[in-house]
Structure 1
C-alpha cells in the first residue's frame, strides 16, 4: 500500500468555513474511489486553538493505479485550481491497523521520526506510541527523506500532548 498527503497552508485569517463547506459538499466524491482504502479530510483551525490553518488530506491506497488515476486523470486538478500547485508527499505503508470502530475517527495525531544512518537496516524498529482509545494507526515511511510518520486515529481529541493533531471532517472509505 502507498500513502500520500499534501499540506495546504492557509493564512492565519483564512475563513476555515470555506474548507468545511468544500468538504461537506464534495467529501463523499471519494467514497469508494478506485483502490482507495481511506481518505481522511484533515484540517487545522487556528480559531479552534490550533497553531495554524491548514488543509492536509491523507490518503492510503491499496494499489498504485488508483493513486495514479487520482493524480493524473483530472481529480487532483480541483486542488490545483483551488490552491495552486501542491507537492504531494508519497510514502510506503509499514503498518495499517484499523479497528472496526475506525469509521468513527474524528482526530489524528501525527508523529514524525527520523531513520538515522546505520551500517545496516536489518532489524530496524518502527516506534509508535500506544494509546488507550486508539481507533487505528498507520505508519508510513519514506526512504527518500529517511523519515517515517505514524498517524494515530481517535474518536475524541487527545489531551496533554505536544504532537500535531488534525480534525477529521470526513472519512472516505473503501466500499
Structure 2
C-alpha cells in the first residue's frame, strides 16, 4: 500500500467553483483505474471550517506501484500539470489500513493528521501506535476508513481518514470530499502492512 498527495494552494480570491466543476467533469476518469485503491478529490476553502487557504489536494491510496506510476507517467497526471503547473507529489509507505463502520457509505469529509516521528523513538513502538491509531479512527461513529502512512525521508507519520459527517473534533486538517474514485478500495490489506 502506497499513499500519495499533492496540494494546489490557490489565490485567496480564487473561485473554488472552478475546482468543483473540474471534479464534476473529470472525477469519474479514475473510477476504474488499475492498481488504485481509492482517490479522494479533496478541497479546502479559505474561511470555511477554519481553513486559511483555498486548496485542491487529492489524496490517493494505491494498491500497486504500477498503478501509481501509470498515473504519474502515463499521461493522466499531465492534464493537471498542464492546467495548474506540476506540483510536488508527496508519497508515503503504508503502515495500516482499516475499514470503518460506515464503509460503503459516501465519504463527505477527510481528515489528515501529521506528526513527526521523534528522534530516538523506538520505531517498532511508533509503528504499533500508528496501527492502533488507524484502528481507533476506523472504530469511531461515521468513519468510512482510516490509514496510517509514513514518509521516511521526513520521518513524518500521517493518519488519513474518511467520514460520512464532519468529525466533531477533527484532529488535523479538514477537507471536503468532492468525489471518491474507489476501484480497489476493498483490496488494500487490512490491518498492519508488514
**TM-score (norm: length of structure 2):** 0.83
Counterpart of 2:150 in structure 1 is 141
Counterpart of 2:19 in structure 1 is 19
For structure 1, the 5+ residue unaligned runs are: none
Separation in 2 of the partners of 1:96 and 1:160? 21
Counterpart of 1:76 in structure 2 is 77
Separation in 2 of the partners of 1:59 and 1:8? 15
Which piece of structure 1 moves more, 40-49 or 61-70? 40-49
Counterpart among 165, 176, 181 of residue 172 in structure 1: 181
Residue 160 of structure 1 deviates from its aligned partner by: 4.3
- Asked if 1:58 is matched to 2:59, the reply is yes
For structure 2, the 5+ residue unaligned runs are: 185-194
Counterpart of 1:90 in structure 2 is 91
Are the counterparts in 2 of residues 3 and 93 from structure 1 also a CA contact under 8 Å?
yes
Q: Deviations over 1:12-53 (max 9, x none)?
A: 100000000000010000001010000000000125443210
Greater fraction helix: 2
Are the counterparts in 1 of residues 27 and 179 from structure 2 also a CA contact under 8 Å?
yes
Count of paired positions = 175
Are the counterparts in 1 of residues 35 and 63 from structure 2 also a CA contact under 8 Å?
yes
Are the counterparts in 1 of residues 46 and 54 from structure 2 also a CA contact under 8 Å?
yes
SS in 2 for 1:78: helix
Runs ≥4 in structure 1, deviation > 4 angstroms? none
What is the root-mean-square deviation of aligned Cα atoms in Å? 1.8
Q: Residues 31 and 103 of structure 1: is their aligned pair in 2 closer, same or farther, counting only changes over 3 Å?
A: farther
Separation in 1 of the partners of 2:179 and 2:46? 19
Residue 76 of structure 1 deviates from its aligned partner by: 0.7
